[in-house]
Amino acid sequence: MDNEILKALRERRSVRAFKPEQITDEELRAVLDAGTYAPTGMNYQDPWIVAVQNPDIIKQLVRMNAAVMGSDTNPYYDAPTIVLVFASRPDKWENGTADASLVLGNMMNAAHAIGLGSCWINRERQMFDTEEGMTLMKQFGLPDGLMGVGSISLGYPARPIPQARPRKENYYRIIK
């Protein structure tokens, strides 16, 4: 069985080199909108999405994430846009991390579908558990009680998209 969506899902890969030019507002809205249509537990729509294109805030995010990683490299691969996803802490909503993860996945698939590159980036929880991170969350206009779940680097790929590696044997089981 095959169609455009299944083909795109098989072809999407993480992009770790981006062109410096900013994506268009229309492209950004398409990716963000796709995130809002991700399934969420009981349709609670708990995740919060913040797209950052401000160069000064991007530098701050790069520094914060690199510090958690113990590195001085750019964990966002010089992407011109960083999309952060937050969710309620487990004591408020136990599905927050799962719901936010689906939002991130939808946005990465949407990015690929319109010719953009993306890469899931971790360490947002540690970043936004700091005083600096909590200050940024307030600056972003987010409510209290959230945690960082993940982010995506987003932009135009600077290199061709790599081919998929072979899938491992026995990846799934069918029990009838």
35 Cβ neighbours under 8 A, 6+ residues apart: 47, 49, 83, 85, 103, 104, 106, 107, 110
pLDDT tens digits, one per residue of 78-125: 999 999 999 999 999 999 999 999 999 999 999 999 999 999 999 999
Q: What is the rounded average pLDDT of the residues 142-169? A: 96
Whole-number average pLDDT of the chain:
97
Question: What pLDDT shows up at residue 155?
Answer: 98
Tokens, residue 37? 């249509």
Domains of the chain: 16-155 (3.40.109.10)
Question: What pLDDT shows up at residue 98?
Answer: 98
pTM for the predicted model, two decimal places: 0.96
pLDDT above 90: residue 162: no
Question: What pLDDT shows up at residue 1?
Answer: 87
